Amino acid sequence: MLKKEKMMLNVPIKLLETRNGRCGEWANCFALICRAIGLETRYIMDNLDHVWVEIWAQELDRWVHCDPCENVMDTPLMYESGWNKKYAYVIAFAKDHVMDVTWRYTFDRKVTSKRRTQCRPAVFYNFITKLSNRLAKNLPQERQKELQRRYLCEMIEFLWPQNNKRDGSEAETHGRISGSKQWREARCETTNSACVIKPTTNEIDAKCLEIHYNSATDEYRRPHDASTSKGFKSLAFESKNVFRKVEIDWKKAYLCRTEGSEKGELVWKIEFNGEKPKSVTINFGEPFCRDNGNVLGVVCCGEQCVRVNDTVTLNEFSDDATYLEFRIEMSGGKGNNAWQHAQILRCDLDNTKTNFSIRVEFE
């Protein structure tokens, strides 16, 4: 018996009835709503298979990324950082212009440029320009001048990739949430990659491996190896239902579980690679809990497991102590904001000090 395919609907208003559809249907419907309330809207299409929209934010004086299918806003690098997308072309279509917005959704211009091989750059830009001119030729002079001004502003934004990173965009490194888990994993659009930390040659020579993390900058440092790693997930062995929250109004940053999830889990794993540990020190700081929120931290090394509340040091190790695993679980809380009632690594946005560290000394 043939499996019935899910019907694709090209009439956006139908989605208001069904409330069920793919990314294209969600984008069409959301664009309809935005246009109905007077917002300037662009339909965004990539060279792979996803679509979303951008809306013009008058107070920000720029176009803002909106993905109704994923329920995120102003997180343009989500597809590249969170979904592992390798874009070559991302095009914006408005009622009166067309724009190549690839550089808003990618960060490394050199790598992205190497993928843009479907046609010569001059031919591509000539086509985009002619199409935009055709759409704008009958517009009032004032509107044409405004489109030209916006075009120049966008080009300046694209010339400086750092502008693509938005402050407080906690969804920036999220994997895809729409579709089944099996389907997302098959497409490599999740962010559950396991990182096992191992001592480098420099760290072995120094007989010390240290990992420092600052939640304000969302960056790890390895002082004995002079290396850094961006994003709390980059050195995590496992991350489940956890994201970095930035509160612009309170000027705070912290890690907590995702909204609607009962439990958030974070695991760091360090393999000793044949080196014998002499001591292990974990400085985790005091969790922020309220309304029955709970944070449980446990470090295991060989046969021993110890609860971590703030700072803990291990000095005795069995022969089977070949790796260390530090696990954090966040749960509890009350009401709609229960996910915020168990926080870790909370600090000021201007904090320059380490607020989480693991130090392993070798014999």
Q: What DSSP letter does each residue of 76-112 carry, written as one string? A: TTHHHHTS----S-EEEE-SS-EEE-GGGS-S-HHHH
Tell me the pLDDT tens digit for each residue of 111-152: 899 999 999 999 999 999 999 999 999 999 999 999 999 999
- The residue assigned the tokens 């446990």 is 298
Residues 214 and 349 placed together within one structural domain of the fold:
yes
Q: Please check whether residue 184 lies inside any domain of the structure.
A: no
Q: Please check whether residue 172 lies inside any domain of the structure.
A: no
Residues 226 and 290 placed together within one structural domain of the fold:
yes
Backbone angles phi, psi at 98, to 5 degrees: -130, 140
- pLDDT score of 165: 52
Residues 202 and 142 placed together within one structural domain of the fold:
no
Backbone angles phi, psi at 74, to 5 degrees: 60, 45
Residues 95 and 200 placed together within one structural domain of the fold:
no
For this structure, is 67 an active site residue?
yes
Domain boundary pick from 123, 144, 164? 164
Residues 270 and 147 placed together within one structural domain of the fold:
no
Q: Please check whether residue 117 lies inside any domain of the structure.
A: yes
- Choose, from 67, 69, 301, 347, the residue flagged as catalytic: 67
Least confident piece of the model among 82-91, 96-105, 183-192: 183-192
H/E run at residue 156:
helix 141-159
For residue 227, name the pLDDT band (cuts at 50, 70, 90).
Answer: confident
Residues 227 and 94 placed together within one structural domain of the fold:
no
How large is the average pLDDT for residues 276-288? Answer: 93
Q: Please check whether residue 181 lies inside any domain of the structure.
A: no
Cβ partners under 8 Å of residue 172, min gap 6: 75, 77, 78, 81, 82, 165, 166
How large is the average pLDDT for residues 204-221? Answer: 95
For this structure, is 50 an active site residue?
yes
pLDDT averaged over every residue in the chain: 86
If one counts the domains in the chain, the total is 2
Residues 270 and 344 placed together within one structural domain of the fold:
yes
Range of the domain at 116: 12-164
Residues 93 and 159 placed together within one structural domain of the fold:
yes
- pLDDT score of 164: 54
| Distances 325 to 140, 198, 204, 244, 259 between C-alpha atoms, Å | 65, 12, 19, 21, 26
Q: Please check whether residue 343 lies inside any domain of the structure.
A: yes
- pLDDT score of 4: 39
Instruction: Please answer whether residues 211 and 225 qualify as being in contact, where contact means their C-beta atoms are separated by less than 8 angstroms.
Output: no
Residues 199 and 146 placed together within one structural domain of the fold:
no
Residues 108 and 226 placed together within one structural domain of the fold:
no
Considering the chain, what percentage of its residues have pLDDT values greater than 70? 88
The closest of 55, 52, 66, 65 to 22, measured between CA atoms, is 52
Please say if the pLDDT value at position 180 is more than 80: no
- Choose, from 34, 46, 50, 69, the residue flagged as catalytic: 50
Residues 200 and 266 placed together within one structural domain of the fold:
yes
Please say if the pLDDT value at position 177 is more than 90: no
For this structure, is 23 an active site residue?
yes
Tell me the pLDDT tens digit for each residue of 33-43: 999 999 999 99
Domain boundary pick from 145, 164, 183? 164
- pLDDT score of 136: 93
Strand, coil or helix: what is 259? coil
Angle 182-184-190 from CA coordinates, rounded to 5°: 120
CATH number at residue 301: 2.60.120.1020
